[in-house]
Amino acid sequence: MSGMEIERKFLVRNDSFKQQAHQSYRICQGYICSGHGRTVRVRRRDEMAFLTIKGPSADGGLSRYEFEKEITLDEAAHLFRLCEPGLIDKTRFLVEYEGHTFEVDEFYGDNEGLVMAEVELASAGEMVKMPDFIGREVTGDRRYYNAHLRLYPYKMWKDAT
């Protein structure tokens, strides 16, 4: 898959998303390189793996170019050895609501306590009806980017929010 990714990010205010989720899976991801808004990431999602390249954000963090390719688990294991320090460990829950899929990430390790939701859009102006578990919008707030969370985990700054 490649193309422009348009999404909004939100904090999650309660765990009602767990009862509404139709699917969940564990994700571990590392960053081969990240900087200047660009990232090269390796991700294991249960028994699948992906290599993803993302460009810098545009529109105040609403959109960015993304290229993603499925790779073998063996390739992912080798690429994880090249990653910069700090891995992201989370469970992703998929919630269908009013024609959109909300991806809710519950983080572990140094990011324990952080729960965020993302919803992908077809266009920047697309209207989205929000489920009741959606809290404050954090689209464009770099602190909530996974590449940032691996360097400055939530446990270091959660009391400042």
Catalytically active residues, by annotation: 31
9 within 8 A of 138, measured Cβ to Cβ: yes
Q: Which residues fall within 8 angstroms of residue 41, CB to CB, at 6 or more apart? A: 29, 30, 31, 32, 34, 51, 52, 53, 54, 146, 147
Q: Which two tokens stand for residue 65?
A: 């170019």
137 within 8 A of 9, measured Cβ to Cβ: yes
Strand partners, 5: 64
